[in-house]
Amino acid sequence: MKRWTLAAVLGLLCFTLRAGELQTVKAADFGFNAEDATACLQKAIDSGAETVLVEKQASPWIIGETIRLRSDLTLVFTEGCEVLAKPGAFQKQGASLFRGDGCKNVTLQGFGNARIAMRRSDYQDPKQYKWSEWRNVLNFYECEDVRISGLTIEESGGDGIYLGSRYEGKPCRRFTLENLKCNRHHRQGISIISAEDVVIRNCQFNDTKGTPPAAGIDLEPNKKWNELKKIRIEHCEFNGNQGGILIYCGAIKASNVRDVVIRECSADNNAGYGLKIAKTMGDAMDRTDDGPGVLVWNCSFSGNGTHGLSLARFVEGGFPVVIRDCTFDCTKGNRPALFIDNSETPGDLAGIKLEGVAFKPGKGGEIQMYSRPGYGILPGAVSMDFTMERKGNAVSFDWAAFVKANAPDANLQKFPVADFRAKRLSPISGRVLPAAEENALELRGRGHFVQYLGHEGGELKLRFLRRQVGAQNERTQITVKDAIGTILDTKEIPEDDYTYTFRTDKRICVVEVDSRKAGLKIFSDRNGCGWVVQNPLPLVSRKSKSYFVVPKGTKMFVVNVTGGPGEPVTAELRDSKGEVRAKCEKTEGVAVLKVVQEASSAPEVWELNVPYAREDHSVQLGAPLTPVLSATPKAVLTQDRY
């Protein structure tokens, strides 16, 4: 990068002043306070001058509140200039050091070792600050024609740089970021949420550590209407972070991901993956054309701690991804060099092309793929040309054999689940009985807890015991409904140990729960309760026992138990006599526990025993089982009594 002296900068500005093209002010002309210079710098910006010169002072520019940027502004930080967040300031969880809202034609130019920084370690101290992942250094919402170059940007309580939009607003447009050093941030070096026509060139995004994803760069739209279009990331490094390069598109419409190119970059020595791409899911998968989506070209990934390349939700309908002429040295990784996880979305592998890619696997092995039961890879559906280094030699990977070993099975794709009919539920015992707090399943995410109260209703009394799994203080929201879906009550659970009571004349209450990422147990003071498992129930317990009804006349049924990536689970089905009838051992991905038997002469209570789970796993009950999983045998519900 060309180094400019202060004299050169002033000379250039004086020339433009003589030409009558530019108005320039010095920020220090509006005052300088060594303890808090916020007002001085903000007044200089608000003066309306086209260029504001922030010069090095005897001490750093200490900023105690967010500096608001405006349109038609060039902010120049001279060599040796430091702008630092004030100790104890920025207590609001979304407070940033600089912020632009709807600004146009903005330039932030640094010279030499000009530095703007916050205080990451302070924000990570719960004694000083409430937890947050949004205390960014530079926040831009719906801004256009922005240029940032020559700056060192460090120590945020969130992201170094954030590009996004508000509500259903437009994306950031026409951004150029060059010759930046973004180091030691809390969440990301840079987050791109919604942007079009962006160039990021010759930048460093290193040493991010704090809260997930903690990537060097994260392209992660929050909403379907966000955009990732015409983005160029060139000659950049993403080293020493928790994760290297992350493209996580769980929400965005697939048609809004276009022409994203990452080329000639490196992602080395990150604690996790080198490159991870997670595509759209559910009804967001609307793309039908084969236009350009994401291209990763001529990049290198080495020394990363887990996967070299991680791909998630690559099924038909999403935006196409091409990875070309890249190298993945995974010798330090403890996970497979290439990892494909399609377990979240039903569908066969699609939408990915590898061309001239070279892997050097480590102790984690070469390749691993998870899919929903019965899904796999259709011959000719994807193009995979890559090598695996074996005994020092690059060997062309036998993709055809891998496709054959992972062929789809239409029979396994059919996983019938019994209808959940809350109106028909009743305790297997036939009566409402008191229940001591013996056991509870630990949910992580969203679920539906159902409670039988009796024909005349009564008091719904539930104890919520919440465990914060990550650094974030997660909230829990509940919505109580009756058997036909009418809302009876809504509430946010205010404490980690909280008893909720609600009186109703309804026979059945269904409690919709959103525990975010926290672990949550629900204890009831009576029997006739459990979690609905029509869809996979997300659990986080290290071990558990749960119970369900096998209806009279059942000859065959299936229970799916799914371990997360790197989080194997051991499970077994025990019949009413305690005998093991099906099991899986430390399984990652979906384990199909199938039982074939003589037709049962009466309803039976069976046990699902999970003696070991690394952490996250899920359970789903197949038909004709009543789709409710209870934490104790006497709590079991059946819907076959009516």
Burial class of residue 270 in the structure, from the number of CB atoms within 10 Å of its CB (0-12 exposed, 13-18 middle, 19+ buried): buried
222-251 burial, b at 16+ Cβ within 10 Å, e below that, comes to: ebbbbbbbbbebbebbbbbbbbbbbbbbbb
From the list 347, 401, 338, 396, the residue with the least C-alpha distance to 371 is 347
Contact 213, 190 (CB under 8 A): no
pLDDT tens digits for range 603-622: 999 999 999 998 889 999 99
pTM comes to 0.81
Burial class of residue 579 in the structure, from the number of CB atoms within 10 Å of its CB (0-12 exposed, 13-18 middle, 19+ buried): exposed
- The C-alpha atoms of residue 541 and residue 564 are separated, in whole angstroms, by 13
Q: Does residue 273 or residue 473 have the better pLDDT? A: 273
| Phi-psi map region of 127: left, alpha, beta (phi>0 left; psi -120 to 50 alpha) | alpha
pLDDT tens digits for range 435-492: 555 678 999 888 999 999 988 899 999 999 998 765 556 678 999 999 999 999 999 9
- Residue-level pLDDT at 88: 97
Contact 502, 536 (CB under 8 A): no
- The C-alpha atoms of residue 479 and residue 463 are separated, in whole angstroms, by 15
Q: What is the mean pLDDT of residues 19-24?
A: 59
Residue 315 DSSP code? B
Residues near 417 by Cβ (< 8 Å), separated by ≥ 6?
Answer: 534, 620, 621, 622, 623, 627
- Residue-level pLDDT at 359: 98
Contact 291, 265 (CB under 8 A): no
HSE of 233 in the Cβ direction (CA atoms, 13 Å)? Answer: 31
Residue 16 has pLDDT above 60, yes or no: no
Q: Is 363 helix (H, G, I), strand (E, B) or coil?
A: coil
Whether the link from the prior residue into 624 is cis, omega within 30° of 0, is yes
Band of residue 250 on the pLDDT scale cut at 50, 70, 90: confident
